[in-house]
Chains A and B, each alone.
Chain A
């Protein structure tokens, strides 16, 4: 089921992008986004700042893909397929989670390309072979963000007209709070705690540790925290979808498309 959902999602995706537009449109945009923030660091005449922004924004690109998956979930309702999904033998949350995975995979790939292409151009040292660990860690951040996004999709699925607003607000909030451009240590303790409960924060710190030669124990601790956060949001996502479906069955808000 997951495989077919992934394939159908990917087919959907390649119906929008051609190879040319993906490379010269999307990838150029990603590269520009990562470079833009890195250039701010350069303007501050600080390689350290430039690299901080570059790594943060490359990982943020990976998480952004997952956040965009929120659009797909609410699109099922607009599409008229939601009630059909509910009436099928497969649990809707599994369907939604699977169908949006390709967006997450795309985001992760984009983030890694951004890091590995823009990084050396801005003088970022990518220590071999430990840099390889960045790949699974970025994957973890993407999945964690996807769990968070699926949770939000379950919350707003009844108000699909605000999906675009929520997606943008989520991206800006994550960029602000999760240590992408501003270190978490800058925030007051209570806000730092909130930040640590959001996706990206812990995983990004693990990635920074890997690149900056941090200790393995620190990498492991941050990775464990990101895993925990992902599990938390996944559990909440399951809960919100179940709640939405039950409410829809009670109040008749799961309309047929006719």
Chain B
């Protein structure tokens, strides 16, 4: 011991065994930045992308369907038919027995809000339908393209009938997906008439991809996998059925089955979460692997948001250099957009660790 003074001894004795409890936020931040087998960070980020897609999809769909469908609903309602073709946003309003259709107000600046008087007009005056024809034609085109969005949240809506005591079955025949929804026994339809529950359509996904199943309009949700959020994210490897029990605000349960179909013809892009560009021939470049990938785009960003690498070539990986200068071990962020074997656009975001 050369010159360890009293003061050093005193301080090191006490401070060396010091323990302090850090804030809980420290673990949260750490866990969001490290690779984990349960993809909690993806769920968070995925939600952003998913949420955006939902908004866009709903906006497009409402825009496409709201106007033309009013006519159909009106006919259905007036004939008391239990079967309908397609049901979307409109809800039944009891206050207006002459005109049963009002549009639902959606708090979205992009959404189309139909004035009740407008609907009234189209309901009674057949000539106004002709004026809408151009809208219908163009919106049909939009509708046919919507299934290309991976997070298919094209919403179909169940509407509780006014005086129908029997369970109803609603068949939706949009694009290639044909779905039958079963509604649970409705005990008091008079009370239930304002309760509106929307289920997302049954998705078909490539093997390894995630998809989101969502319900809108209930009070409580219980999924067959035990979750209780209004949506679940699932990545099944085989065709799977997920049940959800939705409790509405009148405390009635609605049971719905989702079927997730796996397209065996395509697989998801496999993105590694680390690479080691040390020239040993193992994992020297960061390159996602996939088959039948098209319209590929990959960006690599540093943690402070600087763009380091961008490519449109799925066969071209990143070697961990910028302008020929190798970077040190650290975590990078990737954004990858591509079309899978089904021609559906996929957005993948995540972190990759460079290890030297």
Q: Tell me whether A and B are bound partners.
A: no
Interface positions of A (Cβ within 8 A of B)? none
